[in-house]
Structure 1
Amino acid sequence: MPHTTAQLSERMLRHIALALLCSLNLLTPHAALATDAKASKYYEDALVRYEKKDLEGAIIQLKNALQIDKNMLPVQMLLGKALLQSGDVVAAEVAFNEALRLGVNRAEVVIPLGQAYMAQGKLVPLLQQQQFNPAGLPPAVQIQVLLLRAAANSDLGDTRNALKNIEEARAIDPKSASSWLAEVPIRIRALQFKEAAAAADRGMALAPDSAEAWYQKGSVQHSTGDLTGAVASYSKALSIDADRVDVRVARVGIYVDLGQKKEATSEVTQLVGLLPGEPRVAYLQALLAEQDNRPVDARTALKEVVNLIDPVPPDYLRYRPQLLMLNGLAHYGLNEREKAKQYLEAFQKVQGNSAATKILAQIYLSEPNIDRAIEVLETYLKAQPTDSQAMTMLGSALMVKGQNARATTLMKKALQTQDAPGLRTVLGMSLIRSGQSGSGISELESAYKKNPKQTGAATALLNMYLKAGQTAKAIAVAEDLVKQQPTNAEFFNLLGMARGQSRNYPAARTAFEQSLKLVSTYIPPSLNLARLDIATKAYDAATKRLNDVLKVDPRNAEAMAEMAIISERTGKLPEAQRWLEKAVDVSGPKEQRWNLALSDFHLRNANASAALDAAKSASAKGPEELSVLMAYAKAQLAVGDIAAAKNLLMTATKLADYDPAKQVQIAMLQLAANNLPGASYSLDKALSGQADFLPAQALMAEVDLRQGDQAKAEKRAREIIASQPKRAVGYSLLGDISMARGQKAAALDNYRKAHQLEPSTETLLRLSRAMGDQDGGKAAAQLAEQWTKTHPKDIISQKALADGYARSGNLPQARLAYERVLKLDPDDAEALNNLANILLLLNDSGAIKIAEQAVAKNPGNAGTIDTLGWILFKNGQPDRALQLLRDARLRQPGNPEIAYHLAAALAQAGRKAEAKAELESALRSGSSFDGADQAKTLLKSLN
């Protein structure tokens, strides 16, 4: 059955870990729920035009489609490709970013988007932005990304990293010619002509019939003065691919140098028609005019060059040495020395030791002040060699940074020299901020004990108790504060927070309302009342409270964040994102909370690249904050950069010191990174801080088991049972160990004991899974049925029961079970999606409506979009189905079942070649999927 609920974790604590990560299998925003038939027809017509290279017509039709529905993912992707090929790279970037926003799989867009960046000279962003990280991409795409990065590094003058990128690409596929051919221009730019020739030869050997190989060979010959050989190689390239205008431009340059006026004039005339507005062609015209002694025509051509290049943004030209030199020479030919100097200086920085250096030297000689300016700049760079900011601000920035460090050091020393409650409070907070929360809380407790009226220590301690989940202690401190100062609105607000954390919502509301009675303009209790409204799903009331707060304080980031929560829970994901982005915008330069909230939001909605960007922005505000490091690590895990996540978690482990709760969280992330030694180290520190900390003990047993040390895991499990004989966790662990040993009877006994001690959903699921094959699954089903009867609101067990019915083919019971789940939670998109599949198999016409609801709840999930598309296809709505299936395919290109569904729709639409390609891709994956046999049959019919 397609898209059924994923199985729960085999281990209780791994389930907890996945809950903490909240990033590994969630959803993406912005999918279009419905597709317009007319818009779909515009798209299909545009696709035909695009394939026939009618780019202008394709773009028009795609824009017509977007006028009807701007959220059509396939339309945005095809529009980006058409715009890129037509040369409108800025608009192409916009279209590709829209496709990303709508949830396109990164592998589908990273190359054309990277080409758009390259064409705009956005090289540093291309190297820095997470969306261009090769990690997590298919091997063939990784190669292309690495070669793009190599070109970008080369343009930046970083030959070492450019060649490193080449080697990384070559390691993925040593037999590919592309890495050798990409190496050639890098070597030429570095004046390494011998290495360039060797790379060209290797590329030629691997791809002798490649136009690119002949072009690169010609480039080496051109650069080393073998002009005749270069012309021959360029001509061979053009015989293979006559549309390579870059090759023609290079060849005509040689014709001009060789004085082959006839050939040069003929070629330039053709190029003017092919490349109107191309500065290289205009400069060639100027050279030809000068050779013909036509100074007016030469000047006109040079003016065309500068008129074309001068308006180009400096950020683009900075990394285009050919254009910099060309414009410098053109301005020099027009006797515009100041402008020539600007371009030639920029060229010199990127590519020195060229003929243009002589012209630049002449300009310097005519300007007696330039040497002094250069000396000043050099002196400045020597003084601050590692600065990457504006040079005029470097000294001040470094000085300010230095003063802060000294001030921090002096502050700590001063606090440690005086044994007073007030200073101990500051010392405690200092320890907490450095990640030593256990020691910090001890200092706060000491300060509070010495002087209970030391409200600074009390409030700080109360907040730490709340963060640590020690609700009873927090309530006790808050009640003490309220008794001391019964007219203090802040203390009543704190009491409300403590009561709210204990889920005593009526008592919490009373405390917040009392706080407002004392000070009606006090914003925190208003925010907390809104949070209570959100907790009880009173979203309208919460929205009204928050709007009232924003009227009083339009820059209140807390209110904005709560508005984001409401928007997300009501399915308005773009609005939720905007609220969080507003919160980030209005927050201070050191405030990280909203960057982290934005990162978590993107993780929940499967936008890993955006999550990483948000985590990076938080890190820029405070890279050594524990919460930032952990958020950063989660985002790195989500994008597949395991090595980076491990490094971050190593630092986090050091900062967390011996805080057991924090170390357990870090260990869970280490397990997600498959770093068992790292997890073990974190847990050792946790147990060193608190030897009886049960979560750390249990997780350490899990780590032992995963490392294959069953004896050590068993020893830990039995120690847990000895110290906690009435808890289920020890017996659950013994059950897991028995399962790992293949001792199923012992595993069942332990799971039964765990469920008897602490009947819960978790212990039920473990026992049920262990009983799975008894009596054909009847025993497990009976156990689940009994549990759901006595726990009718346990949605997890209800879903597990429904999934079990679905897997066993009991479709009527599965339908009833999913309907019970939806009565408990009508917004459960997964249950909606699974119910839609059940209804499709039952030939129930209500499948479409349920599938549409699933997409509305999960508006970017490839599985739900595919389900709706497939149901529509099966129900005779091919146009709408095709558009949705294309959308799903772009979001999850590696899913063979989606590829099969799309192929079926394409075949029916008469697009047999495209259908065949999708089927071959699906079957080539080797993965089993529902419909694999039908896919094979369909492929045979298309051959």
Structure 2
Amino acid sequence: MSCPISARTHAGIAGRGARGAILAGVMLLGSAALVPPAMAAALERAQEATARGDLRAAQLEWRNAVREDPGSATAHASLAQTSLELGDGEVAEREARAAMERGYDPVRGTALLIRAYLVTGRFEELLRDFPASSPSPANPAVAAQIEAGRVLALLSTRQQGPAREAGEAALRLAPDAEEVQLANATLAMVAGDRAGAEATLDRLLARNPRSVDGLLRKGSLQFERRELQPALDSFSRAVAAAPGNVEAHLRRAEVLLQLNDATRAKGDLDAALAVAPNSPPGLYLRAVMLSRSQDWAGVDAALQPIGAVLGNFPDGFLMLALAKRGLGQTAQAEDAAQRHLARHPEDPRGARLVAAFAIDAKRPEEAIAVLSRVAERGTADAEALDMLGRLQSQAGRPRDAAASLSRAAELAPNDAGILGRLAAARMATGDTAGTTAAAEGALQRDPNRPGVREMLAFTAIQRGDLPGAEAELGRLDPAARRGEAAGVLQGTLHLARFELQPARAVFSDVLRDHPASTAARNGLARVARIDGHPEEAERLLGEVLRADPANAEAIGQLAAAAAPGAPRAAQAGAVLAAAQEAAPGVLPLAVTRAGVMMRTGDAAGAARILAAPPLQSQGGVALPLARAEAHAAAGEWAEAERQSRAALALDPDSTPARRQLAGLLVRSGDARGAEMLIEQGLRAHPADAALQQTLTVLALQARGLDAALALADQLAGQPGTQPASLSLRGDVLATAGRARDAATAYAAALARSPSGELAIRQASALRSAGDADGAAAALRSWLATKPDDENAQLFLSQLDIQAGRNAEAEQRLEKIVARRPGDPVSLNNLAWLLGQHTGDAVAQSRALALAERAYFLTPSPDTADTLGWIMARDGQAAQAVPLLRQSAAARTAGRPDPGSAYRLAYALRAAGGREEALAVLTAALDGAPAFPDRADAERLLVDLRSPR
């Protein structure tokens, strides 16, 4: 912890420049012949005490000198000077006045008197008792001292304009006077002109190299720039010039601590506290030194006497918080940390400490909110961002975690731990390339970093490089190969190859050796669901959530199984409900269950769950947004609006919150209010595509097509709104149902500013207008100039499939899959196409491999349908049935989907389930519309009805 100990006002760091002149006068007096013997002895002892830095002894001797010769102006002046050095302003003022009454030099006497006012903080009285000088004062040197003092008093009362005028007056009166130069250096510092301040100090030190205040200020500027050795030299010169100067010793001790020279630092600290045992900066520095050895009782004892001024030190409350935490006084520690953060909201150290207390108190969302605020300010350090990323990962927010950890890695590029955690967060988002880059970076910095090779193996599986995954596992040392992560990966490898029984065996072995493994349970749950044992999958997922209520994979699997229309939606929903009720304060679990309930028609129940007391302290906009959605679904519009406003208050930059509130305002009849709300968001974020589209849709609904088109054109012409605004005219027309006109608008925008997004929108509009050939032609035209646009190639491949141009689609998808091996849509579509080559064993084998990878990456109804159909025709009907059953159930909406039912019936018949196949197909074909496989389905139905 750095320790800027000079917690003083501007006035407190000036006004000592007369010291050298005063002591010079004392030295002359010491050589005078008419000094009484007793006073001469006191004078000699005072000088010796001053030279060795014992100011208290010097003060005592000057008191003796005053008693011996009450009429001595110099004795009174010297006692005033020494008292000022000890911070005793009242004595200094009395003795300075006594010195001046006895004929002491008016310039030096005025300087002493003004310093006494400043040391005691009597700024208003100084300004009253020492008014501004006339343009032609009788004694310009005295007037300059007064103006210099007024500069500091005016700055301390926040009157910068008059302070500048006083500084200019002082310069006109006595430009070379030390107090004048110090005052103007202070003016420059207050104005932020450090270079100007330092130039003034350099001129002062050139004239008087022993100026203590000049040296202290010069050293402070050097210390601020982290020029530690030059700062040490400046402070050492100040100590040499004034061995009893408390600040000089403390500032040198501060530098020595930064240079890790604790022994010499302690010597300076002891010297300072010997002179001023109650010095707040000295006691604070003692606390800093004790904190290095974690002597928290000593730190606490050092800070207790300065509690009233602790807030004057930048790290005062932070130091107190650390001490109280070290002593186990948690409540006091947290209060001190909160007070530090309130004063210094940009300080990542305070944010980390406050977040740590929130974590200890089981308030993770509060910790995330605290760290997010310092991250948004741009002042978070690597440690704070790393802490934030960990919390976001634990809260099931991998994208946020990846963003935080990415920033942490930029600040600490050689930290293998941060890179490893970044790899894990990216892996959770499906960013295989980013995961690989971060993991490889971690291994470069720490070849033995635990868990990193396992992540590389997993990303290899994600991109279909199963041999690469095997190779990474092979590089693990024997102990790591026996670990949980390696076992889970081995089981995952079997699962990716659709080797269900070996996968089950490996996951079971991991669970036997590591009974708490949630990853092994998740793996077994996937095997069980594919293998047609959904009840086993539900049990396993329930166990995962009992151990780890925020486990994203388990939550996702159960939510998918509980979707309306799923074959065991009620059972899966019950498991999800039990998990959420056991952990009502886990936000991702509560939001997911509420979403399932809303989809099944229980919006009021969803709202009750989201209003539960354990969630009340959760930060972020996710909770009020979910609450607003639930209340809206329940028809509770006022409460939905209130929650949307709460979300927007928490994060004014949240586009979802702004759009949600706008929709509710429209529903309540306040269309103009909704538009104003979106306009406000666009002023802050003019390029936000979602806000632009929302505003034009609001205009379309409220004022009609022409008004919406005019607004779209207006937005497109404003600076900072592109490229999103270029598509707005087409978007408005498409929303209004004028697809052909939308395509024309997109084409015009494309000609103006070519982009793949506009080309795809144009093609989509043409397809909506019933012109599939025109859509394909538009994409081919775009791809003739941009052949590497993978999104356009993928869209065109879908158009080719729909038009029966399978060969063209296959060629395009082969190229896409080569570049994007982890894209489940491309993998699935290519597998389906290759599966049409029924007589080609090589094509069938590759189709099966691609379909397995697509389903492994995204186990959706579409990928289950493709994989199950390929397996059924490949002689693996028993394995295909559970997949096709999942697909058929998910695609049912009121009545069976005939295509899915046909494929399920085909697999059932091949697997020996003739009667079920007949029932499924009969129900599906009864009154079914035409579909591509209708003829094959009818032939199968005839076969099933015929006698065996």
TM-score range, shorter chain: 0.3 to 0.5
| TM-score, normalised by the number of residues in structure 1 | 0.42
| TM-score, normalised by the number of residues in structure 2 | 0.41
Q: Which has the larger radius of gyration?
A: 2
